[in-house]
Amino acid sequence: MSPLGVGSSGSTHILTTGEGKLWILLVGVNEYQEPSLPSLRYPALDCQGLGEALSSATQGFPNKEVIVHHDFAAKPPTLQSIRRSLQQIVSQSQSQDSILLYFSGHGVLEPNTQQAVLCLADTRKEDLLATGLGMQELVGILGASRANQQLLCLDTCHSGDMRLLGGNRGSARDGNISETFLNPTTQMMDILRQRASQSKGFCALLSCDQGQQSWEFPELGHGVFTYYLMQGLLGEAADSHGVIEADGLYKYVYRQTLQYIDKLNQQLRLINQQKLNRGESQLHPEYPLQTPKRIVEGVGELIVGFKPAIVESHKQRRAVVIDALSNKKTTTDLSRLFAGAGGFEVEYFPQKGKSWSEVRLIIQAFTRSHGESETKFPSQFRAGKKTPTSLLYLRGHVEEIEDGEAWLILGDGMRLSRSWLRQELRRAQKSQQIIILDLIISEQSEGTSLENWIEDLQTGAEQGQCLIVAATPAEKPELFSQTVLETLVAANPQVGLPVAKWMTQLQNLLQAKGIKLHTWLSGTQAVIDILPGNISRIFQDFQELEVSGIQENTQQNKENLLSIANTQLSPFGKPFQKKRHEANPPAASSHVGVPTSPSVSASLSSRESQQVSPSPAVGVRESSATKQPQLNLFLGSEQYTNLEQLLKQSIGPVAPTILQEAVKQAANYQELVESLATYILPLRQEKFQKQAIAILERFNVSSPDSAKSSTQEYQIIDANFINKCERELAYSVGPIAKFIIKQVLQSHPQISLPEFVRYLAKQIPEPKLAIEFERRMLSQ
C-alpha cells in the first residue's frame, strides 16, 4: 500500500510502517442556518462516500486519523468545531506526516474585502469573515503545519451566475446563490496558487473552473466531481501497477466529469429531437460545462494510495439475450461483448436442459431483479453505486393479427405477445432499460408496424429507457445483429459508449443497409451507457452454460472443416495438430464456420508450407521482465496493413480490432482468413477470401540475414522505454495501458519507435494529452 506523499521509497516506507501519520479531515454541509444559503442534497453523503473510498485506498497505513464533520456525523460542520479539528492536526502533525482535507459545500465572496469564504452550517451573511472559514485563514493554518505533504480537495459552488443552457432547470450546488453572493473562484485560485508556489508538497483539486457550477445528479447520489473522486480512489484511477497518484487521480476525475456531462447532453439532444418530431415545443435545457481544476507547482509524484486488492462485484448491469434463430454465432459474440466491454452479467437463451416454455419466467426474473450485490460486504465498501441497468435482446420472427396485437415467435412455437412484454417492462421500475428487438420480417409480416412496438413498450418520460426495434429481412437475418456488433467492437472500451451516441451510429449504418430502425430514448436525469467505460477488455466468456444450438453449430463447423484440418500445415511447415492439453475452444468464442472453397484451401496450404518460424517482435529487445507473447502467425507490416485495409472496406472502422483478435487466435493463414470472413456478408465472403489470400501470397519470405539487415532501419524499443510509455499512458487511459501496448507490439512486430509512440498517442481521447504524450516520449 502506497502513501499520500511525494513518491519516493522513503515516504512510502514512512507511512506504510507507521512512522508517519496520515491525517484526513472531511467536511460536508447540507443545511445552512442562513436563509440566503440554499440547502444542498449530497455534501454529507459525499463525505461518507469519500471516507469509505479513502479507507479502502489507504488500508495499508497503520497510523492514520480520520476526522469527519457533516450534518449526520457526531461532529457538526460548524466553524468552532472545524477550527478545533484543524488546530489539532496542526499542533500534532510532524514533518513526515501527510494531510488530506476535503470540503463539500458553498463557497462565496465577501463583498467588502473580496475574500473567498467557505460557508459552514452557522455562517451568517452579514458577517461572513467572522462566521465562515476564509480561504486565506485555511491556507495559513495549513502553512503552519509541519506536514510536508498536503492535498486539498474542494467541491464548492463556483459561479452562481450560471444557468442551464436554455432554461433554469438543474441541480447546481449554488442554486440561486448568485442573487445574494459573488463568485469567489478567481480569489480562491489565486490564494491556492500562492500556497502551491511555497511548497512542492502542496496540491489542490477544485471541482470546477471560473464561470462554472458544480453539478449534483440523483443517479450518482453525489456531486459529479466527488463521485468520480471516490471511484478513482476505489481503483479506477490506478495506473497499471495499481498506484493511485494525485496526478493520475486528477486526470481521471477531469476526464470522467467532462464525459458524464457531455453524455447527458447528448441524451438530452436526442430526446429534444424526439419532442420536435412530435410537434412539442417545450424542450429540456442542456447542462453547461464543468471542468475540474488542479493547482500544483511542486515536483514529484504525490501518491494517494493503492488500488484495493479486493473490489466488490455488484450485479448493477444485467443482460438477457434470447435468440430464436438457428445460427447463433453473432448473438453469442454479442453476449461475450456485453459481458466484456459492456460490463453486464449475461444470461443466454436457449440453454441446454431448459425448454422454450420457460422463457417467460426468465424474462420475469430479469425485469424484477434489483441489482443486488453478489456478496455481503460492510456498507463502507458500497460507495457510489449507480442506478442498475438492464438489457434485453430478443430475436425472432414477428406476427400481427387484426385486433392490433403483435407476437414475437420464438422456438418450439413459443409466442410472446407485445402486451405481455409491455406489462413486464412497466413492472421493472428499479433500473434503466435497454431493450433491443431484432424482428425478422418475412413476406407474411411485411406490414408490421415498428412504431406500434415503440409506442406500446414505453415506460414513461422520466424513467431511463432506450428502445431499439429493427425490421430485419428474413433473407438477411444476421444483418442487424452484425451491425450492432460492428458498432460496439469499434468503440473504445476504456472511454465507453452512451446509448444516445450509439443509436445515432446505428441509424446511419442501417439506413445505408436498407434496414428500418425505430428508436426511443427517455430519461433526463441520468446517463444510460451501452458500454460504461474504464474496462480494458472487449470480449469475455459469460456464464458457462451448455447452450443448445450453439454446440450443434460448432459440431457442424468442425465436420465441414475436418478434411481441411487433416491436411493443414502449421506456420512452421509441420502438420498442424492440436496439442493434447488444449481443450476445444468455447463455442461462444469460435470463429470457425465459413466453408472454404477447394481453390482457397489449396492456395492457403501451399502458402503455409513456405512459412518460416517467426522471430521475436522486430525492434523490441526482450527481457525476462517484459517479454511479449509470440503470435502464432508472422505478418509483415505491409502485409498486415493491406489486410487491415481490405477488411475495413467490408466492415468499416471495426476492422483493426477484429484483425488483432483474429491474428492472436489463428494457428495458420487458413484459420485467419476463415475467421475474418465470418464478419463479411455471405455474398461477399468468397471474394474477400481470394483477395486476402492474394495479400498473404505477396509476402516474400526473407532469409535470416536479410531479415536481420532490414531491422537495422528500425530503432530498438527496449524494455525501459516500454515501461516508461506504459506508465505515462496509464495517466491518460488508466489500467488498459498495459493491454494497449501489448496489442500494438503484437500486431505490428516491425514497428519503429516513432510509429510505436504515435500508435499509443492515438489511444488517448483528449487531443491535448495525446500531443503532450507524444512530445514527451519522443524527446527522451
Of 693, 712, 731, which residue constitutes the final position of a domain?
712
Of 499, 531, 563, which residue constitutes the final position of a domain?
531
Q: What is the pTM of this model?
A: 0.65
Write the DSSP assignment of 669-702 as a string of letters.
HHHHHHHHHTTS-GGGHHHHHHHHHHHHHTPPPP
Report yes or no on 312 lying in a domain.
Answer: no
Output the nine-digit C-alpha cell for 506.
Answer: 446505428
Report yes or no on 539 lying in a domain.
Answer: no
- In this prediction, residue 436 carries a pLDDT of 96
Q: Are both 300 and 406 inside the same structural domain?
A: no
- In this prediction, residue 550 carries a pLDDT of 42
Q: Are both 337 and 275 inside the same structural domain?
A: no
Report yes or no on 545 lying in a domain.
Answer: no
Q: Are both 160 and 149 inside the same structural domain?
A: yes
Q: Are both 437 and 346 inside the same structural domain?
A: yes
Q: Are both 656 and 730 inside the same structural domain?
A: no
Q: Are both 602 and 525 inside the same structural domain?
A: no
Report yes or no on 540 lying in a domain.
Answer: no
Q: Are both 707 and 721 inside the same structural domain?
A: no
Q: Are both 246 and 264 inside the same structural domain?
A: yes
Range of the structural domain that residue 346 is part of:
317-376+384-531
Q: Are both 344 and 367 inside the same structural domain?
A: yes
Write the DSSP assignment of 175-229 as a string of letters.
TTGGGTSB--HHHHHHHHHHHHHH-TTEEEEES--TT---BEETTTTEEHHHHHH
Tell me what the pLDDT averaged over the chain comes to.
77
Report yes or no on 541 lying in a domain.
Answer: no
Q: In the chain, how many domains are there?
A: 4
Q: Are both 457 and 572 inside the same structural domain?
A: no
- In this prediction, residue 391 carries a pLDDT of 95
Of 306, 328, 358, which residue constitutes the final position of a domain?
306
DSSP secondary-structure letter at 467? E
- In this prediction, residue 307 carries a pLDDT of 84
DSSP secondary-structure letter at 439? E
Report yes or no on 542 lying in a domain.
Answer: no
85 bridge partner residues: none
- In this prediction, residue 700 carries a pLDDT of 39
Q: Are both 88 and 228 inside the same structural domain?
A: yes
* Nearest to 340, CA basis, from 536, 529, 492: 536
What gap in Å lies between CA 272 and CA 266, rounded to an integer? Answer: 10
- In this prediction, residue 524 carries a pLDDT of 83
Q: What is the CATH number of the domain that holds 251?
A: 3.40.50.1460
- H or E element that contains 418: helix 418-427
Q: Are both 300 and 324 inside the same structural domain?
A: no
Report yes or no on 538 lying in a domain.
Answer: no
Helix (H, G, I), strand (E, B) or coil at 567: helix
Helix (H, G, I), strand (E, B) or coil at 615: coil
Which regions in the chain score pLDDT beneath 70? Answer: 1-13, 15, 157-182, 298-301, 310-315, 370-385, 402-403, 429, 444-447, 461, 542-638, 653, 698-716, 735, 780
* Nearest to 155, CA basis, from 192, 208, 200, 117: 208
Q: How far is CA 549 from CA 232, 350, 544, in A?
A: 42, 8, 15
Q: Cβ distance 282 to 268 under 8 Å?
A: no
The residue type at 321 = V
C-alpha torsion sign, points 247, 1, 228, 122: negative
Q: How far is CA 622 from CA 629, 703, 717, 719, in A?
A: 10, 22, 9, 7
Q: How far is CA 401 from CA 410, 415, 572, in A?
A: 17, 13, 61
Report yes or no on 544 lying in a domain.
Answer: no
